[in-house]
Amino acid sequence: MKALPLSELPTGQWGRVVSLKARGMARCRLLDLGLVPDTPVQAVRRSPLGDPTAYRIRGALIALRREEAGQVLVTPL
């Protein structure tokens, strides 16, 4: 299946991390949050204004801005 940015993953759906587009500290930050390749991640809830979105990552609920989530490529599960 084609990879898409995590920011485009519909609410409720699970995806699997394929790769990160971010470089440098931004990449480090995403890795620290647990977004390493092959990690399952779920888009749980979008805030009223559409940004940020809460994602379930390795057992924790974490809010990411569109620009951050857009740096993560996932394949929908």
Q: Which residues of the chain form contacts with another protein (CB under 8 A)? A: 23-25, 28-29, 32-34, 57-60
Question: 1 vs 60, which CB is nearer to another protein?
Answer: 60
CA dist., res. 23 & res. 51, Å (int): 22
Closest contact distance (angstroms) between CB of 34 and another protein is: 5
Closest contact distance (angstroms) between CB of 22 and another protein is: 12
Closest contact distance (angstroms) between CB of 1 and another protein is: 25
Helix (H, G, I), strand (E, B) or coil at 66: helix
Residue with tokens 């809010």: 63
Question: 4 vs 26, which CB is nearer to another protein?
Answer: 26
Question: 10 vs 24, which CB is nearer to another protein?
Answer: 24
